[in-house]
């Protein structure tokens, strides 16, 4: 009976340790980003937000316009070409764009992007 009690105590302690580690990872880490990297390495994950970063002049990438939280990658590309047409650059010869994906963050207002696609 004592052996059963000791095994149960060790298993329960290990289970508590694992629960604490997962809780810390969830609060301080970025579990959604890790899961997205595993299963959606080259495409946006369904829960990620897509932002458009449009550069009117590709020689000056520090000048840009950001449109946040577009619905899909296709919508981001469409919006980029719309913005290029407004700049009299319908074939995107002078400008460029990036569609960036980011998971919602629990802390901090600055967005961290996982992917940058065209």
Claim: this prediction has a pTM higher than 0.75 = no
Q: How are beta strands 49-55 and 65-70 bridged, if at all? A: antiparallel
* Residues pairing with 102 in the sheet: 49
Cα-flanking dihedrals φ and ψ of residue 115, to 5°? -130, 150
Each of the 118 residues of the chain gets a pLDDT tens digit; together they read: 555 565 767 777 888 888 888 888 777 777 778 888 889 988 998 988 899 999 999 888 788 888 888 889 999 999 999 999 999 998 999 999 999 998 766 555 677 888 888 8
Domain boundaries, the chain: 31-117
């Amino acid at each position: 009976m004592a052996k059963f009690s000791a095994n149960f105590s060790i298993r329960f302690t290990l289970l508590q340790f694992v629960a604490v580690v997962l809780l810390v990872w969830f609060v301080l880490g970025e579990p959604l980003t890790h899961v997205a990297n595993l299963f959606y390495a080259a495409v946006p994950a369904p829960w990620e937000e897509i932002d458009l970063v449009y550069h009117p002049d590709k020689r000056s990438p520090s000048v840009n316009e950001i449109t946040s939280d577009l619905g899909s990658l296709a919508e981001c590309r469409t919006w980029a070409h719309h913005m290029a047409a407004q700049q009299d650059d319908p074939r995107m010869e002078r400008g460029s764009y990036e569609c960036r994906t980011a998971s919602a963050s629990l802390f901090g207002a600055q967005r961290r992007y996982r992917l940058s696609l065209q």
